[in-house]
């Protein structure tokens, strides 16, 4: 099952050096989840060959503009391009107020249903669940209420050894129970031990998205054991005072967090406009946590 | 004196084929006027090598998103980049309400003064004047209140024939009056006829910006005699019904308007996403008005 994230924007605060404000596209089993939506996200989707209309779920971490100014444009374009299927938006309550005001003054009545789910940034809770995954909020520590998101795949059913089952002419109606791990005592006395006819499915994976935040152990429990941890790394550690003052993280701290929470891989992004080249941020993080990568726009990272 | 316009966005409604929503940058005597500000305008400014902080005046024609969704991002970036000088914004009243709400929820207190001038779309009036030009509204006919803008250069002072004046040792204190076209009777009985010592300055030029609008003779008087007329040409004339229904103009109509109002040059833009190539729109317009050009992003047009 596909579980991967494409970076659409990696810049903090303002667009610069051809880097755009934050946005990421998560693909889980060909369902598309947009995480944050900085200005120009719809242009980035076009640029990298994605159809915006495939997105059914949008998660907005907080109401600093570099994380949501592109949302109204994306929603408007979907409307103009004839979308009819619903869109779920998970965001702070005030975003609904902003969108409503903008639609009102353009006299736009959006043709497709928008289901708006209000996020509270007080305690970590599950906000979404479908057949593929659950989404839990991560309570970050920023200048305004801000949540990250933990996307956790569900355990899949066991895989059938189909050739063996067919060879032994096991009836099809037994397959669903076998997938669920059940041993079967058949009426003819035969016993089908599950272990002989199935293999375990892939281990469910966990992707955590943390932007923007001060280094704060308060959210470590929620992000424990990520397969991929995306963490903001706005500054080099030499700018720690500035990071603390603006409630951001340094590359060194992001790496320390990945290490402390047992992540398998770290992806850093939300780069300050002061860094024209990003190699120093990568090297700093790798000095603490080797398996670090830069969030490069247009790149897709398997989780 | 420089008087030229750079196209930052030429697409109608949605970004497509690497075309961005509407925005233009007018340079008059090295003062910068932004006309409309679709999503991604700040990225386009970076892309084409302009410093956003040079802009001191912003004119928003109406509150359809493809004409203003980039404004909040631009204003925020100027704030984050340390702007202190004032910004004047000419726009419909509701835009102030939208910006205020967005700043409130990001807890942003903009560091530089924003002087917001409300535009009423009921009758054509002068809304701005400085040493270089005046700006008058053009009352367009769109689905929501919408104004274009007529930028008219002021008549410049006469040019001195400095070499001749120096050769005849005419005192410097006479120069300002000569520039103003005055003949001088000197105390020694000598007469300086203005025509012998000055030449006429360049003819003041007029740039009109018309987007979005139905073909409507109501605004022809205001745009009469443009040196360059920018006019939306969303559709080919074969789509006239659609143009009428959405209150837009065809390329043929835009050309007819240029012809009827005595424009010297026509620039067409605001192209529908249905047109991947723009040559058919250009050819249609040129069949009626030869001196037509396409508004191509990144191109600068002398007015």
DSSP character for A156?
P
Annotated binding site of A: 62, 64, 66-67, 142, 212, 270
Do B133 and B28 form a contact (C-beta atoms < 8 A)?
A: yes
Note whether A97 contacts B101, CB cutoff 8 Å.
Answer: yes
Question: A193-214 burial by CB neighbour count: b if 16+ within 10 A, else e?
Answer: eeeebbeeeeebbbbbbbbbbb
Q: Model confidence over B28-42: pLDDT tens digits?
A: 999 999 999 999 999
Note whether A81 contacts B20, CB cutoff 8 Å.
Answer: no
Q: Model confidence over B164-181: pLDDT tens digits?
A: 999 988 888 889 999 989
pLDDT score, position A189: 85
Quote the minimal CA–CA distance from B112 to chain A in Å: 17
For B62, nearest residue in chain A (alpha carbons): A106
The pairing of beta strand A87-91 with beta strand A114-118: parallel
Distance in angstroms (rounded) separating the CA atoms of residues A239 and A248: 10
Quote the minimal CA–CA distance from B37 to chain A in Å: 12
Confidence category of residue B62, pLDDT binned at 50, 70, 90? very high
What average pLDDT does the segment A257-264 reach? 98
B248 annotated as ligand-binding? no
Shortest CB distance from B13 goes to which of A72, A80, A95? A80
Strand partners, A115: A88
Confidence category of residue B100, pLDDT binned at 50, 70, 90? very high
Note whether A15 contacts B77, CB cutoff 8 Å.
Answer: yes
Residue A66 annotated among the catalytic residues of the structure:
yes
Confidence category of residue A161, pLDDT binned at 50, 70, 90? very high
For B63, nearest residue in chain A (alpha carbons): A106
pLDDT exceeds cutoff 90 at A51? yes
Tell me the two tokens of residue B231.
């006019």
pLDDT exceeds cutoff 90 at B68? yes
For B51, nearest residue in chain A (alpha carbons): A16
Note whether A101 contacts B106, CB cutoff 8 Å.
Answer: no
pLDDT exceeds cutoff 90 at A190? no
Note whether A77 contacts B14, CB cutoff 8 Å.
Answer: yes
Contacts of B118 in chain A (CB under 8 A): none
What average pLDDT does the segment B100-128 reach? 95
Instruction: Report percent pLDDT > 70 for chain B.
Output: 100
Domains (range + CATH), chain B: 3-156+202-302 (3.60.15.10), 159-199 (no CATH)
B231 annotated as ligand-binding? no
pLDDT score, position B17: 83
Active-site residue (options: A66, A122, A200, A241): A66
Do B70 and B39 form a contact (C-beta atoms < 8 A)?
A: yes
Q: Model confidence over B271-299: pLDDT tens digits?
A: 999 999 999 999 999 999 999 999 999 99
User: In the predicted model, what is the mean pLDDT of chain A?
Assistant: 95
B64 annotated as ligand-binding? yes
pLDDT score, position A19: 95
Residues 6+ apart with CB under 8 A from A188: none
- The CA angle A151-A155-A159, to the nearest 5 degrees, is 140
Confidence category of residue B71, pLDDT binned at 50, 70, 90? very high
Tell me the two tokens of residue B213.
């609008």
How high is the ipTM of this complex?
Answer: 0.89
User: In the predicted model, what is the mean pLDDT of chain B?
Assistant: 95
Contacts of A102 in chain B (CB under 8 A): 65, 98
Instruction: Report percent pLDDT > 90 for chain A.
Output: 89
Note whether B65 contacts A43, CB cutoff 8 Å.
Answer: no
What average pLDDT does the segment B54-79 reach? 97
pLDDT score, position B127: 97
pLDDT score, position A268: 98
Shortest CB distance from A105 goes to which of B13, B77, B98? B98
Q: Model confidence over A70-88: pLDDT tens digits?
A: 999 999 999 999 999 999 9
Shortest CB distance from B65 goes to which of A40, A64, A72? A72
- The CA angle A277-A279-A283, to the nearest 5 degrees, is 155
Contacts of B44 in chain A (CB under 8 A): none
pLDDT exceeds cutoff 90 at A186? no
Q: Model confidence over A98-140: pLDDT tens digits?
A: 999 999 999 999 999 999 999 999 999 999 999 999 999 999 9
pLDDT score, position A199: 93
Note whether B15 contacts A144, CB cutoff 8 Å.
Answer: no
Question: What's the count of helices (H) and strands (E) in chain A, helices before strands?
Answer: 10, 18
pLDDT exceeds cutoff 90 at A68? yes
What average pLDDT does the segment B88-116 reach? 96
Q: Model confidence over A218-238: pLDDT tens digits?
A: 999 999 999 999 999 999 999
Distance in angstroms (rounded) separating the CA atoms of residues A235 and A148: 19
Distance in angstroms (rounded) separating the CA atoms of residues A210 and B230: 46
Quote the minimal CA–CA distance from A301 to chain B in Å: 25
Tell me the range of A174-178, A294-298, B196-200 where mean pLDDT is highest.
A294-298
Query: From the candidates A61, A70, A77, which should be mutated to test the interface with B, based on the most B CB atoms within 10 A?
Result: A77
> Would you call the peptide bond into B53 cis, given omega within 30 degrees of 0 as the criterion?
no
DSSP string, B245-269: HHT--BHHHHHHHHHHTT-SEEEEE
Interface size A-B, in CB pairs within 8 Å, comes to: 102
Contacts of B106 in chain A (CB under 8 A): 63-65, 144
Region of B253 on the Ramachandran plot (φ > 0 left; ψ -120 to 50 alpha; else beta): alpha
Distance in angstroms (rounded) separating the CA atoms of residues B83 and B168: 49
pLDDT exceeds cutoff 90 at A298? yes
């Amino acid at each position: 099952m596909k579980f991967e994230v494409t970076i659409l924007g990696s810049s903090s605060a303002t667009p610069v050096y051809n880097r755009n404000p934050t946005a990421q596209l998560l693909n889980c089993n060909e369902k598309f989840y947009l995480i944050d939506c900085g200005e120009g996200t719809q242009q980035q989707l076009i640029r990298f060959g994605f159809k915006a209309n495939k997105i059914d779920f949008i998660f907005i971490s907080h109401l600093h503009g570099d994380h949501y100014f592109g949302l109204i444009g994306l929603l408007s374009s979907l409307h103009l391009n004839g979308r009819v299927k619903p869109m779920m938006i998970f965001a702070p309550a005030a975003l609904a107020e902003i969108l409503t005001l903008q639609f009102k003054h353009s006299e736009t009545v959006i043709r497709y249903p928008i289901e708006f789910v209000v996020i509270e940034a007080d305690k970590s809770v599950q906000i979404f669940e479908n057949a593929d995954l659950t989404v839990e909020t991560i309570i970050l520590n920023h200048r305004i209420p801000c949540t990250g998101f933990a996307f956790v795949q569900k355990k899949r059913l066991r895989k059938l050894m189909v050739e063996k089952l067919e060879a032994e002419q096991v009836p099809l109606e037994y397959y669903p129970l076998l997938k669920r791990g059940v041993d079967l005592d058949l009426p003819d006395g035969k016993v089908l031990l599950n272990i002989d006819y199935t293999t375990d499915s892939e281990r469910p994976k966990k992707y955590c998205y943390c932007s923007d935040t001060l280094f704060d152990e308060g959210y470590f429990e929620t992000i424990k054991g990520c397969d991929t941890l995306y963490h903001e790394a706005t500054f080099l550690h030499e700018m720690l005072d500035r990071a603390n003052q603006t409630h951001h993280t340094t590359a060194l701290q992001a790496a320390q967090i990945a290490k402390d929470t047992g992540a398998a891989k770290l992806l850093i992004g939300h780069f300050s406009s002061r860094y024209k080249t990003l190699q120093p941020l990568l090297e700093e993080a790798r000095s603490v946590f080797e398996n670090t990568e830069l969030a490069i726009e247009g790149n897709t990272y398997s989780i």
